[in-house]
Chains A and B, each alone.
Chain A
Amino acid sequence: MSSLHRRIHLTRGPSYILAVLLAAVACGGRVGDREGARDDELDVFTAGSLARPVRAALDSFAPGTGVTPRQETAGSVELARRITELHRIPDLLAVADAELIPELLLPAHAAWYAVFAHDRLVLAYRPGSAVAARLAREPWYVVASAPEVEVGRSDPDLDPAGYRALLVMQLAERHYARPGLAERLRARAPRRNVRPKSADLVALVQAGELDLAWLYASVARANGLAVVALPPAIDLGSPADSAGYAMASVRIAGRTRGDTIVVRGRPIRFALTVPLDAPHPERGAALAAFLLSPHGLALLAREGLEVSDVPMVVGTGVPSAVTAAVAGAAGHGAAGHGAAESRTARPGAAEDTP
């Protein structure tokens, strides 16, 4: 053994290493191939703000169907880019901004989407913290632009809550007629307080690192955080105020580095789709139908989401299971009983209008 070792070391060393390296390069094939799929898998991509409700619904969905759900969570923009750039296709995609699907995925990667919930942006804080006492005395925009207050927001290039926070800052400046307010609010949420997705901010508020964080009302509620409710004219939660929201706009990263796209203010709507080329389209459609059914919506509502009474489906090639589930929800909504008890829809914001 030692003679073999020595021989390799002394005489064959260089050629042996060369052979291994050549074989190593030969091993690497084309990059970006799709991974092979096992038989009972169901890949679900969820926005950070939807991770918890969808997880709860999956716990109820999976046992009956024998599938093993694999959930991946990231900012919605990042999820869309995983599909378009990395060609990693899930069986179901749930995003925090419905508009991302037509803007980034139609027509190459998706043909339809269903809007199933809406939300509004709030400033969340820890009940009983120092900032809570201040908020009782002073207007929120004074507290949130004070130099000693730390405010968290998510990355606008990856996460809709990130660009929505910037939009709300602009709307607040206009609404309260305070020139420079948007810049002051943004200055209190500097880069060190920016995280990839808004759900990441929850832990930092709970740990006391952040005083305030720009979150969805549903996320704050589900995590037991107190919130500053903003006026409907600026909180992106009221479809009636769409025209006013559209006056705000921000520029975020586009498809490639250096490229940018403009996002305008619009009501916050959550949507899902089964991407084209999903590895298991029937399973994806079955899960979509489950989530959009009255039972599924009630499960989502229990986790704090403000679900639509009747989901709105847009596009072509909608799976029949999904159409049937939405029709069931419509009948259910008309009958007006059952799953509605845990719903917290606000008047005027309950219906999504196309």
Chain B
Amino acid sequence: MSGRLAARLWTVLAALAGSALLLFLAAPLAQLVASGGAAGLRGLFDDAELRASLLLTAGTATAATLLGVVAGTPVAYLLARRPFRGRALVAALLDLPLLLPHPVAGIALLLVLARDTPAGGALLALGLRVVGTPAGIVAAMLFVSAPLYVSGAREAFARVDPRYEGVARTLGDAPWRALRRVTLPLAARGLGAAAIVMWARAVSEFGAIVVLAYNPKVASVLSYDRFTTYGLREALPVAAVLVLLALVPLALLRAAREEA
């Protein structure tokens, strides 16, 4: 009897704690959308700076994600499939950017990519200026979000049974062909989900971007700038629109996971 009572009590407490957390997560966002959502959606039509900033954000995040996918997929495959010397080191290196405060990431990138540095100078000679340009935004986004893609892609590869690839090999497929025809299709949904996570993380980045490129302003910088320059009234619509737009990758992610 008392055991059942205790069990009920724990159930109620667990439900209360969970609800409190959900409330804590939902309340600020719901309030933000309730206060600024309508004005924000209007802003999509009559605020050219906001529109340009959203397009810039989407474009740079997409570019960063494409770079991350192209360069990160082989690394993720290696980490998932091939034991090699220094694997632990590579894995740790890939986790490190996730632990850095983002302004620190920006400062580190500045030291490597400034005009005066070998890498920055070489890029400039090729006509690619990094600091204060969309290229700088892509660099900052790539730095902070590529590790998320690699770890997601690594898990996606690890979930595919290596025996399928082995069977394809015994049936005469070359390694690259087996990878392309067997493992990649089987891991595709996981890779897609990882890419969406990376894209969403890139869109939400602020700290590293603002060090490298205050102008042109991505959406996160614009919302902060509006807040500090003009106050809440001007910042709310921008912030609310960002919350609403965050629902798009969220929906995509759910779709990718449901099908997986």
Contacts and interface: CB of A to CB of B under 8 A. Distances in A.
Interface stretch (B155-163, B201-209, B227-235, B246-254): B227-235
Given A207-B111, A208-B117, A27 B27 contact: yes
Contact of B216 (A4, A191, A193, A253): A191
Given A4-B11, A31-B35, A81-B229, A209 B23 contact: no
B133 interface: yes
A191 B15 CA distance: 52
A150 to B, nearest CB: 7
Contact of B114 (A24, A196, A207): A207
B20 to A, nearest CB: 10
Contact of B132 (A32, A78, A191): A191
B34 A1 contact: no
A4 B28 CA distance: 28
A74 B34 contact: no
B229 A157 contact: yes
B139 to A, nearest CB: 13
Interface residues of A, number: 35
A86 B131 contact: no
A178 interface: no
A209 B215 contact: no
Contacts of A21: 26, 30
Interface string B95-122: 0000000000001001100111100100
A199 to B, nearest CB: 13
A193 B229 CA distance: 19
A292 B230 CA distance: 31
A27 B31 contact: yes
Contact of B110 (A32, A82, A209): A209
A193 B131 CA distance: 8
Interface string A201-217: 00110011100000000
B131 A78 contact: no
B116 A25 contact: no
Given A191-B215, A208-B117, A81 B133 contact: no
A196 B26 contact: no
Nearest to A208: B116
Interface in B198-257: 213-216, 225-234, 236
B22 interface: yes
B174 to A, nearest CB: 47
A1 to B, nearest CB: 7
B232 A32 contact: yes
A299 to B, nearest CB: 28
Interface in B129-160: 129, 131-133
Please indicate which of the listed interface residues B116, B129, B236 has the most CB atoms of chain A within 10 Å of its own CB.
Answer: B116
A256 B114 contact: no
A23 B23 contact: yes
Contacts of B35: 28, 31
A156 to B, nearest CB: 12
B182 to A, nearest CB: 36
Nearest to A84: B231
A28 B11 contact: no
Given A28-B31, A31-B232, A20 B114 contact: no
A137 interface: no
22 contacts: A20-B19, A23-B23, A23-B27, A24-B23, A24-B31, A27-B27, A28-B34, A31-B31, A31-B232, A78-B228, A85-B231, A85-B232, A86-B231, A150-B115, A157-B229, A158-B228, A158-B229, A191-B215, A194-B214, A196-B225, A209-B114, A256-B230
8 closest A-B pairs (Cβ-Cβ)?
A208-B116, A192-B132, A28-B31, A85-B231, A24-B27, A24-B26, A209-B114, A27-B27
